[in-house]
Amino acid sequence: YEGGHRVPYIVQWPGITPSGVTCTEPVLGTDLMATLVALTGGELDDNRINDSFNILPFFKEEKTSENRIYYTVQSAGKNPYVAIWENDLKLILKTEKTNDKVLVPTALFNITKNPYEYEKDNLIHDAEYKFKINQLIDKYNEIKNIEE
């Protein structure tokens, strides 16, 4: 389920980004939209899918108080997998064949303890995480503006 989330993102911006600095925050391609809007002084439309995050604070080594939730489509096609992750937990959801608004939880990984997402450490059936799985599904629906 990895999907290339560990590909380096290199930035050189003299006078803004200090040289030799490493940021461990994941950055997604969709983040460019919110970042460019912030650079130009614009605003994102609240009625659009909220899957972009302004990464300018990362370039300037500024801390952000915003709790980042990551969302990606893991595979394209008729029934794609999607991933949403927050802090150490990454939830993989598969869309249902007959209704793409119905999501089937497929895997839950602690990406700090299991960065390679080994199936033997899949937490999807662990009762301790049932609430968190439902919470992440709700957050996914909120991001995608899906009404139940």
Which residue has 């560990």 as its token pair? 6
> How high is the pLDDT of residue 112?
87
pLDDT of residue 77: 64
Work out whether the CA dihedral 87, 6, 24, 113 comes out positive or negative.
positive
More confident residue, 69 or 118: 118
Give the tens place of pLDDT for each residue, 64-87: 656 666 666 666 666 778 888 888
pTM recorded for the entire structure: 0.70
Backbone φ and ψ for 84, nearest 5 degrees, come out as: -135, 130
Beta strands in the chain (DSSP E): 69-73, 81-86, 89-95, 103-110
Residue 125: the pLDDT is: 96
Residue 66's pLDDT is what? Answer: 63
2-53 confidence digits (pLDDT tens): 555 667 788 888 988 888 888 877 777 878 888 899 899 998 877 666 677 8
Confidence of residue 113 (pLDDT cuts 50, 70, 90): very high
pLDDT at 102: 77
Which of 18-32, 55-69, 103-117, 132-146: highest mean pLDDT? 103-117
For residues 111 and 5, is the Cβ–Cβ distance under 8 A?
no
The answer to whether residue 1 scores a pLDDT higher than 60 is: no
